[in-house]
Copies of this chain bind each other. A is one copy, B any other.
Amino acid sequence: MNLNAAFDYIRKNEKRYVDELIQFLRIPSISAHKDHDKDVAAALEFDKKKLESLGFKTEVWPTRAHAGLFAERIVDPAAPTVLIYGHVDVQPVDPIELWENPPFEPRIKDGAIWARGADDNKGQHYAQIAGVESVIQGGGGLPVNVKFIIESDEEFDGEAMAEVAPKHKDKLRCDVFVVSDSSFPDVDHPAITVSIRGIQAVEITIRGPAVDKHSGEWGGMLYEPIDVLRWVLQNLKDFKTGRVLVPGFYDDVQEVSAEDRKAIGARPWNDAAQARSIGVKRLFHEEGFSTLESGTIRPTLQVNGVVGGYTGEGFKTVIGSWVRAKISMRLVHNQDPGRIGQLFERYVRELVGDMGTVEFRSFGAGRPFRAEVSNPFVQAGLRALEAGFEKPPIAIGQGGSIPIVAPLVQITGAPCVLMGFGLPGDNLHAPNEHFPIGCFLGGARSAAAYLNEVSSRVGAGARR
């Protein structure tokens, strides 16, 4: 294929690409709101029509929530196959009053497109589609087979697609799985994400006396649920070192190689500046690891919410009958969320003992993912980013979870390349979401370049 010609094509079609994305963004495909179900379906249909116009065969796979779109264009069964992921559904828009323009009336301002979904994930995966189009229409045709798996449940039921995917294992067969649903650390550093954390989220409810008791009458004579909770919490994580104290928690953690640790550490980062940017005096880090490592390649535990006793205006001298905490553990390669959940539950039960009762409610789990920087498909991704953005690319770790990655890696058996095009300030999940047009077009160029890289430069040894 002719990459320069594909890039020319992108340049000539810039305005149309942006217009198409704007049309796409007008669809209020909020998957969490039942009354937007037909919009969610319309958004999936938008991609379906677009990919069919590019010669893709498509199928819609129903899920327990909405549906997923599968598309493929096989140019040569012997050629490598690239599977590209995206999602058409978007987050709700509340608080709507904080938006500068209506979230589904996209606007171009300061070189960016402003709308719900502009970055996450319509803009990012539409950049992939635009890149594929440029290769087909401008670059002399696809040099590899391309498949798309596009879901419409990601912001509502992250496990819905993972549940049906195994049934389509043959269709999903590929040599590399590309996900554009992440971001660069800043505009000057295009990046491949080589590490994302998994998650195990649990709500615990600790109960004591059958009803709230007067704290004057009973203070000093009871195992108070709030006290028991703080006892549990102080035994779950060492406050000073940041180590999680659940026995066995670190058993399966595979340390990152010194080489990859160094690569990930190359990301520009300044503790003091980061602290200032979020309004705290200083940051924390796990003992023995940098702040950046603590937030990306190290497992941790957070209390995401806590409520118990009297929390209204004024004061009530009660010993609350119960207290509830939402707790999530961020996991790294090769921790198993199910096993971690079991260790957690057994340990918390032990800590509570007969000082109260404790109930557990699971709120979902996701496996961690890690790729080695030296992996040829990762290296191809770095080169593609350099071609697309004309800046030296880096490898980074990311602290959050992308639930679809681990199941699809498991189903396909293929390496995953996380090549997202967003920026940290794009307001994902928040009012005034936007996506720089430069990221959108650079993304399209990188997507085109990636197909070229896989076709021409990934050694045969990297394929299975």
- Residue of chain B at shortest CB distance from A217: B399
Chain B residues, Cβ within 8 Å of A354: 281-282
A320 interface neighbour in B234, B239, B304, Cβ under 8 Å = B304
Chain B residues, Cβ within 8 Å of A213: 278
Chain B residues, Cβ within 8 Å of A310: 304-305, 326
A224 interface neighbour in B208, B282, B303, B355, Cβ under 8 Å = B303
- Residue of chain B at shortest CB distance from A309: B305
- Cβ contact within 8 Å between B311 and A222: no
Q: Given that A219-B302, A291-B221, A305-B311 are contacting pairs, would A209 and B278 also be in contact in the complex, using a CB cutoff of 8 Å?
A: yes
CB-CB contacts of A254-276 with B at 8 A, as 1s and 0s? 00000000000000000000100
Q: Is A57 part of the contact surface with B, judged by Cβ < 8 Å?
A: no
Chain B residues, Cβ within 8 Å of A292: 221
Stretch at the interface among A47-55, A62-70, A225-233, A406-414: A225-233
* A418 → chain B closest CB, angstroms: 14
- Cβ contact within 8 Å between A320 and B294: no
CA distance A205 to B307 in the complex (A): 14
Q: Is A166 part of the contact surface with B, judged by Cβ < 8 Å?
A: no
Q: Is A210 part of the contact surface with B, judged by Cβ < 8 Å?
A: yes
Chain B residues, Cβ within 8 Å of A284: 220-223
- Cβ contact within 8 Å between A220 and B242: yes
Contact size range, A: 35 or more
* A58 → chain B closest CB, angstroms: 32
Stretch at the interface among A6-14, A106-114, A196-204, A245-253: A196-204
CA distance A274 to B222 in the complex (A): 11
- Residue of chain B at shortest CB distance from A305: B309
Chain B residues, Cβ within 8 Å of A356: 280-281
- Cβ contact within 8 Å between A306 and B303: no
CA distance A309 to B223 in the complex (A): 24
Q: Is A319 part of the contact surface with B, judged by Cβ < 8 Å?
A: yes
- Cβ contact within 8 Å between A282 and B203: no
CA distance A226 to B303 in the complex (A): 7
CA distance A364 to B315 in the complex (A): 9
- Residue of chain B at shortest CB distance from A210: B279
Q: Is A141 part of the contact surface with B, judged by Cβ < 8 Å?
A: no
Q: Is A286 part of the contact surface with B, judged by Cβ < 8 Å?
A: yes
Chain B residues, Cβ within 8 Å of A234: 230-231, 234, 239
Chain B residues, Cβ within 8 Å of A303: 224, 226-227, 230, 309
CA distance A318 to B274 in the complex (A): 18
- Cβ contact within 8 Å between A315 and B201: yes
* A213 → chain B closest CB, angstroms: 6
- Cβ contact within 8 Å between A311 and B324: yes
15 contacts between A and B (CB under 8 A): A216-B400, A218-B295, A219-B300, A220-B300, A220-B330, A221-B295, A282-B355, A304-B309, A304-B320, A305-B310, A305-B311, A306-B307, A311-B324, A316-B326, A317-B328
